[in-house]
């Protein structure tokens, strides 16, 4: 499995709008791409952050989905709705499962 984790920081005073937008984008991706997005937040430290976690069977699958997302006018419209809700850019990390059974 390959995981993409996007970390975003919510702009001051935008908590409610950010939560609604995250929910809308996650629902869009589930309906259009079959992705089951998980949203997590820190229990301590910077509590104004959310992490968006996508799970893919392979990096190639992620690449296909990413290309489809960026060429989808509906996704771009939802993405535009999120402008001003977050500070800076999202930080993206890629992770993979580690098999320790050997």
Residue 44 has what pLDDT? 84
CATH label of the domain that carries residue 23: 3.30.70.100
Asked, for residue 16, whether it belongs to a domain, the answer is yes
Q: What is the pTM of this model?
A: 0.86
Mean pLDDT of the chain: 93
Asked, for residue 102, whether it belongs to a domain, the answer is no
Cα–Cα dist 72/32, whole Å: 10
Asked, for residue 101, whether it belongs to a domain, the answer is no
Asked, for residue 90, whether it belongs to a domain, the answer is yes
Cα–Cα dist 49/45, whole Å: 9
The residue-averaged pLDDT of 37-59 equals: 90
Range of the domain at 89: 2-96
pLDDT tens digit sequence for 2-44 = 999 999 999 999 999 999 999 999 999 999 999 989 999 988 8
In the sheet that holds 38-40, the strands lie side by side as 38-40, 49-56, 2-10, 86-96
Q: How many domains does the chain have?
A: 1
Asked, for residue 80, whether it belongs to a domain, the answer is yes
Asked, for residue 50, whether it belongs to a domain, the answer is yes
Residue 20 has what pLDDT? 96
Asked, for residue 88, whether it belongs to a domain, the answer is yes
């Amino acid at each position: 499995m390959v995981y993409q984790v996007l970390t975003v920081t919510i702009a001051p005073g935008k908590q409610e709008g950010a939560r609604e937008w995250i929910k809308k984008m996650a629902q869009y991706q589930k309906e259009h791409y079959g992705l089951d997005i998980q949203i997590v937040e820190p229990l301590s430290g910077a509590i104004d952050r959310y992490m968006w976690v996508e799970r893919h069977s392979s990096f190639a699958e992620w690449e296909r989905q990413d290309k489809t997302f960026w060429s989808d006018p509906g996704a771009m419209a939802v993405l535009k709705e999120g402008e001003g809700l977050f500070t800076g850019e999202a930080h993206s990390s890629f992770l993979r499962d580690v098999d320790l059974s050997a």
